[in-house]
Structure 1
Amino acid sequence: MSPAATHPTPTSVVIEAPDQLSEYAVVTLLAADRKIRVLPAAELGQADVLVIVTPVLTEFLRGRAEELLRTFPGPCILIVDRIDPAPDRRSPAAATGLLLRSEVTSELLTARIRQAARGAGHLRVAGESPTPPLDHRETLILRMLAEGLEIPEIASRLNCSEGNVRRILSLLMNRLGLSNRWQAVAYAFRADLL
């Protein structure tokens, strides 16, 4: 077996974050994996994958992150704190992965980076439609979750009981095969419901 086969080239990553602390947090998650190498931003052209950390999904459409997505030819993973439903709904079509910061682990992030480097995975495909369709109330609940509202606030806005909101959300998540609220919000984003 050749040395190249036993020691594959590490996947190189550039991290774009709004501050050094966010960047350091991602570097720390990747530090244990010797098959992933973090490059400085100046070496973006040599990176296999771009990781962008942004507090709110719609904010990545502005400024440096948008410029990076236009110029970087490779796959991009977005790490967000929350998904903000915006009136200007341009889709981050250049992104191949969307992760919520609260759920990111070292194992999950390294797996997504490897998938992106291999060309697997997507955030959303043009023309992709949600399966199955959601009714008006389910859509409203997902939108309010994306705004960061809790169950009591959602119930108050919909003028129904908290138990009813929980029931609708539970049935919806079971039907879609989702395990938590963040996955439900990510589904709503991918399905263009927000």
Structure 2
Amino acid sequence: MTTTETSTRIPVRVLAADPFLRVGLESALGECPEFTFDRDGTGVQVLAADEIDDAVLCAIRAARERKSTVLLVVGKVDASTAVRAIEAGACGVLRREQACAQTLISAVRAASTGHGTMSPDLLSGLFETAGRLSSTPAAPSLDARERDVLRMVADGHETAEIASALAYSTRTVTSIVHDITHRLRLRNRAHAVAFALRQGLI
């Protein structure tokens, strides 16, 4: 393998209490030659759990402190608990039964570039429950351009698709999202969408 090939591979670490589940996830991810398994957890960390409890949230925060990007694969989850995971630092949340090899590989690729992934029913649930979730006093505002971009991010569109639809350059879209996350002190795109929904900004 050449130096270039090595440098472009994506380090991945799978964590699961169930060893059979861990082996299954590693087997699915092993189908992608772009990935290399990383025991130090400095790349994308795929964290598998039965449900999102305090221990899982602590594990997500610990991984984020080590500069890992966390993709959560969970058995039992709803929109409100998915929000908690995102606020703890998860880049994406997938239902375990929906985490087939293709979906899992796509989610890890997205996570490695800072893009979040969420199971479609959970994303829909975020919109349905947004009005019932608690809000923070004196919530910040978003301008029209920022709201348009975040709505498309929430709908699952990639940067290039958003740029084409809104007649912006991809650099402009990236800059808008970066400005939002930096100004509001959010961790990533998924956190920005969850925050905006909870505050009723989009």
Runs of 4+ in 1 over 6 A off after TM superposition: none
**1:24 aligned counterpart, secondary structure:** helix
- Cα gap change, 1:53/1:6 in structure 2, threshold over 3 Å: closer, same or farther? closer
Give the TM-score of the pair, scaled to structure 1. Answer: 0.53
Structure 2 match to 1:38: 37
- Cα gap change, 1:6/1:48 in structure 2, threshold over 3 Å: closer, same or farther? closer
- Cα gap change, 1:18/1:84 in structure 2, threshold over 3 Å: closer, same or farther? farther
CA distance in 1, matches of 2:56, 2:85: 17
Code of the residue aligned with 1:66 in structure 2: it is C
Over aligned residue pairs, what C-alpha RMSD do you find? Answer: 2.9
Structure 2 match to 1:81: 75
Code of the residue aligned with 1:24 in structure 2: it is V
Structure 2 match to 1:90: 84
Structure 2 match to 1:63: 55
Q: Post-superposition shift, 1:26? A: 0.3
Structure 1 residue 120 corresponds to structure 2 residue 118: no
CA distance in 2, matches of 1:31, 1:114: 13
Q: Decide which structure has greater helix share.
A: 2
| Matched residue count | 125
Code of the residue aligned with 1:188 in structure 2: it is G
- Cα gap change, 1:190/1:77 in structure 2, threshold over 3 Å: closer, same or farther? farther
Instruction: Report which of the two structures shows the higher radius of gyration computed on alpha carbons.
Output: 1
8 Å CA contact retained: 2:12, 2:36? yes
Code of the residue aligned with 1:70 in structure 2: it is A
8 Å CA contact retained: 1:16, 1:65? no
**1:79 aligned counterpart, secondary structure:** strand
Structure 1 match to 2:22: 23
8 Å CA contact retained: 1:49, 1:116? yes
CA distance in 2, matches of 1:115, 1:9: 14
CA distance in 1, matches of 2:37, 2:127: 28
The runs of 5 or more residues in structure 2 that have no matched partner are 131-202
Q: Deviations over 1:86-143 (max 9, x none)?
A: 79x73532111111111112121111111111112266xxxxxxxxxxxxxxxxxxxx
The runs of 5 or more residues in structure 1 that have no matched partner are 124-181
Code of the residue aligned with 1:67 in structure 2: it is A
Code of the residue aligned with 1:50 in structure 2: it is Q
Structure 2 match to 1:109: 104
Structure 2 match to 1:169: none
Q: Post-superposition shift, 1:62? A: 2.2
- Cα gap change, 1:79/1:13 in structure 2, threshold over 3 Å: closer, same or farther? same
8 Å CA contact retained: 2:79, 2:123? no
Q: Post-superposition shift, 1:83? A: 1.2
Code of the residue aligned with 2:98 in structure 1: it is E
Question: What fraction of aligned residue pairs are identical, expressed as a percent?
Answer: 16
- Cα gap change, 1:68/1:78 in structure 2, threshold over 3 Å: closer, same or farther? closer
